[in-house]
Structure 1
Amino acid sequence: MSKDDKKIIPAIVHKVRWVSCGSKKFKSYIDYIDRDEATRNYNFDDFSLYNDYMGNPEKSGSLFTEKNDYMTKKEIKELKKNFELAQKNKSMMWQDVFSFNNDWLIENGYFNPKTKVLDEAKIRNAIRKSMGELTKDGNENELIWSASIHYNTKHIHVHVASVELKPNKENLKKDFRERGKRKMKVIKTMKSKFINDLRNRDEFYKELDVLVRDNMVGSKKEYSFMKDRILREKMLNMLRHLPKDKREWNYERIKEAKPYVDSLSKYYVENFCRDDFQRFKKMIIEDKKEQLKIYGTPKDLSKLSEPHYKEADLYRRMGNTIIKELKDFVKEEEYKNKRLQYLKEKKKYKNRSYRSKKENEKKNKINLADNKKNYDIKMDREINKPFEEKKANNNEFKKEDNNLKNSDGNKKNILDDKKSSYNKLNKDSESKYKNENNSMKFNLAVAMNNVKRAIRNDLEHYINMLEFEKMERQKEYESGLEI
């Protein structure tokens, strides 16, 4: 929009003003609460904070509140007491005004210019939605409000007065100008809720959501970027600008890569979802015109070139879908590389294990043969040794026996001693033989343990192989479920 273009006046205006408890306007509003409609209409200037903004209404509707469309005399009396109590407790009084361009009301079927009938029920409901924003987080201060619809030739408007029965004690210490301020976010939300309730664009936005979520983003989930050369090139180019940490791969976090993601999204919807995207753009233009008519020309004209929030939603959803596809692709490639590396290591280990096994077997055979040979030699020696000793001892014994036969004295005792020595010698020989035999058995056990250790290592490797193959089967099963 250029400077020469005519400025668009908003069809709906929302303003808020406030006064302290000692203000004459506060007292006047209380005084006129229980007056009839004609009296309140005639004395509107006495309690309205918008005399500079609008003149006296031609006609005023009855009071309504959060719960009542029409109020009995008893209910009006109770309302007046509550406003008096709020004033006594030093509450501020806020006055909100919602003003319409009557042409907009006529265009949207809320006002009949011939019969002068307004759809007051719809207006009341929109006011309640808007005022509900002030109490959505609870109503600790017990906010109460009353409102009435005022008719003018050009601008029908709704006047709302609100007070707090229990003002916050900390706020009472502040200057009244500060106490009455509302957060800009709250004011914007109040206006937005009021307008959206009257626009009745639910079906319109539902159609936009279907175009975005189901048609365009939904089709991308089913279409692999590997099928198209340009898509593939854009995808791989985007990969170079993504953060190394895959946990950061989210559309809201990838500032550097976002232009590349948006470029890819735009290319996809323009070439693969042409009809849906054209319909989407047409609806966005229509909605922007409607919003401009309602909200008017913004002070900051650069806002007119900002993308519609549904456009931003499209690129966000499409971007996250693309990023997820790329993440799955990278994950699959990493898995393939790891599997290939594993198979190489597995083959290498098999060859090394086979050679090591053959060498160990050969070495063990040589050691076993040597041990057996040495063992046989020692066994022969040990077996023959007692007999040789026995033979020598027998010769000695016979010699001694002959000497004893020819000697005098106690021949019998000497013979017994010799026999005892001979028996002891036999026992020592047998004990020595057993010890040597145990030593040979120990050496044999050591050799067997070495063989067992080699077998155990091979078994552990085989078990690891089985576990990896099990993981592969599980992955294939999960892939099957996703399909």
Structure 2
Amino acid sequence: MNRPAIILTSKFSAPSAQKTFGRYVGYMARKEALEKKEYLSDKEKSELDRVETQAKKLDQKYNFSVIKSEEHSKREKEAKELIKKKSIFDLNDKEFDKYLGYMVRIDALNHKKENSKLTAKEQSELEKIGAAANRLSELHATKEKVLDGVFSSDKNVVQLKDLNYIREQLNEGQKNNSVLWQDVVSFDNSFLKKKGILSSTGILNEEELLKATKKMQSVFQNEMDPPLNNMYWVASIHRNTDNVHIHIATVERDPRRKLINRDGISQPKGRRPQKIIDHMKSSFANELIGSSELTKELSQKRQTIREAIQINLTAQVEQPTFQAELNEFVKILPESRRKWFYNKLNEPQKKMSNHLVDELLKDNSDFKKYKDLVWELQNDRQSLYGKSKRNNKNYAINQLYGKEGIYARNGNALLADLRKIDKQANHNQRHRVSFKEKVDPNKYIQSALEEIYKQKSKKENVKSSFDESYAPHPHGKSKTRNIKGHYLKKPFITQSQIRKIKSNQEKVFEKTNADRESRKNLREFEKLQNEVEKELE
């Protein structure tokens, strides 16, 4: 598989491990700092061994490092590092108060900077507290105190003043014993540029990322068992690395998770099945590239293409070249008409069906557009999920040649018309042996059409004779003439019709007086009988 354009990296932590998780993060930060040093003293080497041992113990006990992600690539490694770092939502109260203080002071200094020049001391202060704020969080406020790229389950625009409210919602969830789920969606910037979400000048369409995130979170909430109760989440878009990425933190303010026992500690079950994570990612991607609109357009074109098959068959069925191809196709079809369905055919039969569909639709613009759209979606999916070597994972192959693909649908439309032709040529008799077994297979379609026209002509002649026998008299008086085979008789009921009426009356009586189970069985029998009759047709 090639590297996908979108990576979803996920983790969760149980509420019982929140304080310990802070210690784990501290160990990992110290470990990273020591490992960056070119030379270590004996004391530092000893400390590194101790830190690694303690971090390993905590990790084994609480599974902190169990992170679900995809692909062994630079972006995957980057995403794993991002999800381990502390964000604004992980800050303790003291750190958070300090961060708010920094942001208020930065805002005041920037305001002064716009109206008058800052002193050297103020400029130095601005640089220092800016660096300090960045160390605590990657969030940045605009002049209007709006936090760039931050949104939540109930706010599309988040201001600096909203941070206290947001923390209260997350804290409420954790206080009520909620799992904290954290996700990072990381992008290949070249894909975002290709889809017009990131401009060549670096302008990011955050509105599209917001809509896709909301769609993904809706899938997360509804597919969990049970669904997340009173869910709250907050997301922030970051651009401080080589690739755009989104951090998302989620809690249940009123948890409904099943409690499990781990190492003697009761805690809510937070692990998400892989199929939910996969669906979260696919829903995000589909919303981002607008595939739902393309899918709707494909659905509309499928119907018009199916109608075009039947219209074009009527137009071309008299052409000698097409008749020869139809005869070759019918020649290899099964003997019984009941097997004239695309998915009941073998590969050579399907191949011939596909060829005829192409012939009938060679000038159809909807068919060409359909195939172009399918391959456009396939290329998008390949960019999103990587290239698969398995055909059953290939979107375009499935949409064109799968069991419900365009060739199957139109092959069935063609076969439906051929079944109709064969049945009419057989005088509408429910013969198991098709009409093609009665004539020269090399002249099947010609013989079938000739027989149908002959029957039609005969009916029209009979109708014409019947009409003439009742033609008005030239002088205005009607004159009835007896013609052989036509008699003026009063309406009467035959013995066959009487038996049928009696049988129907008995059925109605049985239905009315039978118990509920008997009526149900009778309905099932009648339904089965109707299906058998339709198949025999």
TM-score class normalised by the smaller sequence:
0.5 to 0.7
* Inter-partner Cα distance in structure 1 for 2:139 and 2:160: 23
Q: Deviations over 1:457-482 (max 9, x none)?
A: x9744867999xxxxxxxxxxxxxxx
- The answer to whether structure 1 residue 93 and structure 2 residue 180 are counterparts is yes
Stretches of structure 2 that go unaligned for 5 or more consecutive residues are 23-85, 104-129, 142-146, 432-491, 502-537
Q: Deviations over 1:41-95 (max 9, x none)?
A: 5235xxxxxxxxxxx8999835311220223566433332332232233322111
Aligned counterpart in structure 1 of residue 407 of structure 2, from 311, 315, 318: 315
Q: C-alpha root-mean-square deviation of aligned residues, in Å? A: 4.3
* Inter-partner Cα distance in structure 2 for 1:156 and 1:338: 66
Aligned counterpart in structure 2 of residue 269 of structure 1, from 357, 362, 369: 357
Stretches of structure 1 that go unaligned for 5 or more consecutive residues are 1-6, 45-55, 340-457, 468-483
* Inter-partner Cα distance in structure 2 for 1:83 and 1:179: 18
C-alpha displacement of 1:219: 1.6
Q: How many equivalent residue pairs?
A: 322
More helix per residue: 1
**Which deviates more, 148-157 or 256-265?**
256-265
What's the counterpart of residue 111 of structure 1? 198
What's the counterpart of residue 148 of structure 1? 236
3-state DSSP of counterpart to 2:429: helix
C-alpha displacement of 1:149: 0.7
C-alpha displacement of 1:120: 1.5
C-alpha displacement of 1:147: 0.7
1:357-368 paired onto structure 2 within 5 Å: none
- Asked if structure 2 preserves the Cα contact closer than 8 Å seen for 1:18 and 1:95, the reply is yes
3-state DSSP of counterpart to 2:428: helix
What's the counterpart of residue 12 of structure 2? 18
C-alpha displacement of 1:182: 2.1
- Asked if structure 1 preserves the Cα contact closer than 8 Å seen for 2:212 and 2:287, the reply is yes
* Inter-partner Cα distance in structure 1 for 2:167 and 2:333: 66
Residues 11 and 330 of structure 1, relative CA distance in 2, 3 Å threshold:
same
1:9-408 paired onto structure 2 within 5 Å: 9-21=3-15, 22-24=17-19, 29-31=89-91, 35-36=99-100, 41-43=134-136, 61=148, 63-72=150-159, 75-114=162-201, 116-136=202-222, 139=227, 141-168=229-256, 170-173=258-261, 179-201=269-291, 204-205=294-295, 208-215=298-305, 217-222=306-311, 223=313, 228-235=323-330, 237-240=332-335, 254=343, 256-257=344-345, 259=347, 262-276=350-364, 277-298=367-388, 300=389, 307-311=396-400, 312=402, 313-322=405-414, 324-325=416-417, 328=420, 332=424, 336-337=428-429
- Asked if structure 1 preserves the Cα contact closer than 8 Å seen for 2:259 and 2:267, the reply is no
Residues 235 and 208 of structure 1, relative CA distance in 2, 3 Å threshold:
farther
Structure whose alpha-carbon radius of gyration is higher: 1
What letter corresponds to residue 237 of structure 2 in structure 1?
I
Q: Deviations over 1:257-304 (max 9, x none)?
A: 364663354122221112445554444444433332232234x56667
* Inter-partner Cα distance in structure 2 for 1:258 and 1:188: 35
Residues 62 and 293 of structure 1, relative CA distance in 2, 3 Å threshold:
closer
3-state DSSP of counterpart to 2:91: helix
- What TM-score do the two structures reach when normalised by structure 2? 0.49
Residues 297 and 332 of structure 1, relative CA distance in 2, 3 Å threshold:
same
* Inter-partner Cα distance in structure 1 for 2:337 and 2:393: 31
- Asked if structure 1 preserves the Cα contact closer than 8 Å seen for 2:332 and 2:349, the reply is no
What letter corresponds to residue 329 of structure 2 in structure 1?
K
Residues 265 and 68 of structure 1, relative CA distance in 2, 3 Å threshold:
farther
* Inter-partner Cα distance in structure 2 for 1:465 and 1:226: 44
* Inter-partner Cα distance in structure 1 for 2:244 and 2:302: 38
Residues 338 and 169 of structure 1, relative CA distance in 2, 3 Å threshold:
closer
